[in-house]
Amino acid sequence: MQPLPHVYSATASGSQTGEVSLDAPGLARLTSAPAPQFGGPGTLWSPEALLTAALADCFILTFRAVSAAALFGWLRLDCRVEGLLDRLGRQTRFINFTLHATLTIAPGADRTKARRLLEQAERACLLINSLNSTHTLAARVLVAGADGDRTGRNP
């Protein structure tokens, strides 16, 4: 890791109606629109979908680092994030994020250690820690070839 502080930059461009173009140095352009709940088409990334995806991504990348430091091998981690948007007083904002994480480990791996590392990743995830909302981790640890998992991939 490079020394802190780090600076990240992105640009958004749009007009009175239509799509918004999202750019960041060295990255592919993304196109966004309002979420369907705000009258958008539901076919493009919205700021709300990008935020929840960023949390899921950050959680997996943090788990990679935490598990590598602990010398813990694993097969697959799937994370679905649900963000609860509500009105508090006069302000509409996300009040809670639930991370639904399913970790698949090899037969013989330590389930207790796996769960502990998932919890550690939740505490260490920099995006989760940067938000003014509560968060919940709903984690499952499955053993490949057991727990109904035949492929190492979980739904």
* 75, part of any domain: yes
Each residue of 43-92: pLDDT tens digit? Answer: 999 999 999 999 999 999 999 999 999 999 999 999 999 999 999 999 99
**pLDDT reading at 1 higher than 90:** no
In a domain, 103, yes or no: yes
CB 31 within 8 A of CB 21: yes
In a domain, 31, yes or no: no
User: Domain limits at 81?
Assistant: 46-143
Q: Band of the pLDDT at 149, cuts 50, 70, 90?
A: low
**Model confidence at 155: pLDDT above 50:** no
Q: pTM for the whole thing? A: 0.91
Domain assignment present for residue 4? The answer is no
> What is the tens place of the pLDDT at every residue in 16-46?
999 999 999 999 999 999 999 999 999 999 9
Please give the tally of structural domains in the chain: 1
Assigned domain for 11 exists: no
The model's confidence at residue 148, banded by pLDDT at 50, 70 and 90, is low
The domain spanning residue 100 has which CATH number? 3.30.300.20
Cα 155 to Cα 137: distance, rounded to the nearest angstrom: 17
Calpha distance 76→145 (Å, rounded): 13
